[in-house]
Amino acid sequence: MAFDTLHDVYHDQLQDLYSACKQSLEATTALGRAAEDKHLSEALIAGANGISDGMDKLKSLCAEHDIDPEGEKCKGMQGLVTEAHAHALDPEFADAELRDAVIITQYQRMVHYALAGYGSAAAFANRLDLDGDAAVLQGLLDETYDGDRRMTEIATKGGINKKAA
């Protein structure tokens, strides 16, 4: 693909975000099933629902720009999903609290990748005077930040890290 304009880059980013969401949805669902802590499991289910909602919104944005949301494979999220399996889902753990602590770590890595993607795409939309797109992407960015903060709270104030120690 050739990038001749910021619109080209923006369209690529929308497709990349859609791919990232699609891949992280499966991993987040698996992490939610593996979580022992009720609050963590509920937060991951909410995260999966948010990812699904984000995919719907990204699909709509892609349709407005006449681009295929499936037109890109996000290699970055592919790596993070592989890491989530290697570090949280596949290994044996001495206890559930330890696995829960690692689940949070792996989920937050995927979330931070999404934060970078949404932030960059929103900035491009703003620069291109695509106010409606920018508002949608900013909303997704804000929701993703909320999910990240919730995970940090579960890890620290919820006591998962303390129990794992």
Domain of 102: which CATH number? 1.20.1260.10
- CA angle (144, 29, 40) in 5-degree steps: 65
Q: Which pLDDT score, from 0 to 100, does residue 120 have?
A: 98
Q: Which pLDDT score, from 0 to 100, does residue 46 have?
A: 96
Q: Which pLDDT score, from 0 to 100, does residue 136 have?
A: 98
Q: What is the pTM of this model?
A: 0.95
Q: Is residue 90 part of a domain?
A: yes
Q: Is residue 15 part of a domain?
A: yes
Number of domains present in the structure of the chain = 1
DSSP H helices in the chain: 6-34, 38-64, 75-84, 96-127, 131-156, 160-164
Structural domain boundaries, residue 85: 6-164
Q: Is residue 48 part of a domain?
A: yes
Q: Is residue 1 part of a domain?
A: no
Q: Which pLDDT score, from 0 to 100, does residue 1 have?
A: 67
* Residues in the chain where the model's pLDDT stays below 50: none
Q: Which pLDDT score, from 0 to 100, does residue 164 have?
A: 87
Q: Which pLDDT score, from 0 to 100, does residue 163 have?
A: 86
Q: Which pLDDT score, from 0 to 100, does residue 75 have?
A: 97
- Name the 3-class secondary structure at 49: helix
Q: Which pLDDT score, from 0 to 100, does residue 2 have?
A: 85
